[in-house]
A and B are shown apart, each in its own frame.
Chain A
Amino acid sequence: MKYFLQLVLAGLTKGSIYALIALGYTMVYGIIKLINFAHGEIYMIGAFTALIVGGALQITTGLSPLTILAISLAAAIFFSSGYGVTMEKIAYKPLRNAPRLTALISAIGMSLILQNYVLLAQTSDFLPFRSMIPNFPFLTPGKSLVTTTQLVILITTVVVMVILTLLIKFTRTGKAMRATSQDKVMAQLVGIDINKVITFTFAVGSATAAIGGVLIANHTGQINFYIGFLAGIKAFVAAVLGGIGSIPGAVLGSLVLGMTESFGAGYISSAYEDVFAFIILILILIFKPSGLLGRNEIEKV
């Protein structure tokens, strides 16, 4: 029973990280119908920013771990959003009226550029990431079911989801985002500056990915330039599984994927952990291409 619960928790943790990344995929897709394949790299850059900023603070100052975590998280969000927004301006905006495939290729190019840029600027080796999350005293290491990092990941994800939902449902900007995703021409005709909305979407999506990056680095304890690739692809699978373009779908898809991987690895074989994501992708594309919560595109004429 304990083993089962541990797998559930591991699955939820994984799923939470996927969800933080998948949100960016699904939001960007919702607005400009682009699969932003460079999104995983934004997550990786978030982790690296935290490593650099956090590392520097750990060495040079005597700040408490939580303060360091907060500062590096803020730095990661800031830099990742900067990268995300810049990426949109140089790689996607000029192609907005081009066929979709063109922008997709541009996204893959962007992904390769960012990976190799970090490879050159840093190193190809895995770099140790010293956890900034102190152990909660009420969780005895080894005895408790859940680790401190896991708990922090779960809580952070829930908080991010709630904030995002409120933002999109009730704020003026959120409504503008929904309107833009539903009809770009009409959005302009009611006075929405869709460029601003698109920029904002990239910034928010990048910010949640950065949070995911910082959390996963704390969880696994090591990062390299390549972590964004697989995580990005899996989050993409999660977004497709949930129904791309749908925000609750992205969260549901991520949790389902996280659980599947966790149970697959726990009960079948850990060597095949990464295979399950792609089995799911193939199955969903065959049997329900619109995803679990996606809607079929029906237009009323």
Chain B
Amino acid sequence: MLKLDNIKTYYGNIQALKGISLEVKKGEIICLIGANGAGKSTTLMSISGIEPPRSGSIFLEGIDITGMPAHQIVTMGLSQVPEGRRIFPQLSVLENLDMGAYLRRDKEEQKRDLEYVFDLFPILSQRRNQSGGTLSGGEQQMLAISRALMAKPRILLMDEPSLGLAPIIVQQIFGIITRINKEQGTTIFLVEQNANQALKIADRGYVLQNGMIVKSDTSSALMADEEVKNAYLGV
């Protein structure tokens, strides 16, 4: 589904990604764990075309999308829930969801998808006419996920969906992620600092350190790994 081949991304002269290769297969939930500043968000922004890599290639369903403008990558069925949620603060909840479906022309289907996300997150339905900036952190995260779903992506990139949220909301969000994966068949590539939670729902995981992949294995193997345990699981 998604394949990264030795990508290197720079911010000015600073190299953030030092040759990342990884693969996400159709229908999987894959998580990328790593500490602050390891390059997790950069990896996602490189895939989405916001920070295109200086070298290496990115393939989406076999098509080379390296260097493609960000808005075109969305048309190919890839959406991102970015770090910090990035809700359009002065647009209403409904308008935010509309923007998620910006590239779609199928009004009827959109209505059905709107019902679907309101079913996932009933609170959004209650708040539909409120402006995005007035929502709580948890509600904004729900809106960010819903907005990405409104694009009907085949693969969804999620950047730290649990960041700054109360444990009970985190539980709920991770539950929904699994549900989206099962019900819609959406492939999910999840970036998390909350490695415990992420590995519990993921099929496989990659460990990112200083812009390099240092480990990759099934989730259960990673959870049993001594180094991973010490560094990321806090046990």
Contact = CB atoms under 8 A, between A and B. Distances in A.
Interface of A: 172, 175-176, 178-179, 182-183, 185-194, 300-301
Contact of B79 (A179, A189, A192): A189
B102 A176 contact: yes
Contacts of A172: 102
A190 B89 contact: no
Given A189-B70, A190-B74, A191-B74, A182 B89 contact: yes
B88 A191 contact: no
A300 B98 contact: no
Interface of B: 48-50, 69-71, 74-75, 79-80, 82, 84, 86, 88-91, 95, 98-100, 102-103, 133, 147, 151
Nearest to A193: B71
B75 A191 contact: yes
B99 A179 contact: yes
Contact of B82 (A179, A189, A191, A194): A189
A178 B80 CA distance: 20
Nearest to B90: A182
Q: Which interface residue of B75, B99, B151 has the most chain A CB atoms within 10 A? A: B99
Contact of B102 (A182, A185, A191, A301): A191
B147 A190 contact: yes
Contacts of B50: 185, 188-189
Given A175-B91, A185-B50, A191 B103 contact: yes
A176 B71 CA distance: 12
B70 A178 contact: no
Given A175-B102, A182-B88, 4 more contacts: A176-B99, A179-B99, A190-B74, A190-B103
Nearest to A186: B86
Contact of A190 (B49, B84, B99, B133): B99
Closest 4 CB pairs of A and B: A191-B74, A188-B70, A186-B86, A191-B103
10 contacts: A172-B102, A175-B98, A176-B99, A178-B95, A183-B86, A185-B50, A188-B49, A189-B50, A189-B79, A190-B99
A182 B89 CA distance: 7
A163 to B, nearest CB: 20
B18 to A, nearest CB: 23
A84 B80 CA distance: 34
A187 B48 CA distance: 12
Contacts of A300: 89, 133
Contacts of B70: 188-189
Contacts of A194: 71
A191 B71 contact: yes
Contacts of B90: 178, 182
Nearest to B98: A175
B122 to A, nearest CB: 23
A192 B102 contact: yes
Nearest to A188: B70
B78 to A, nearest CB: 10
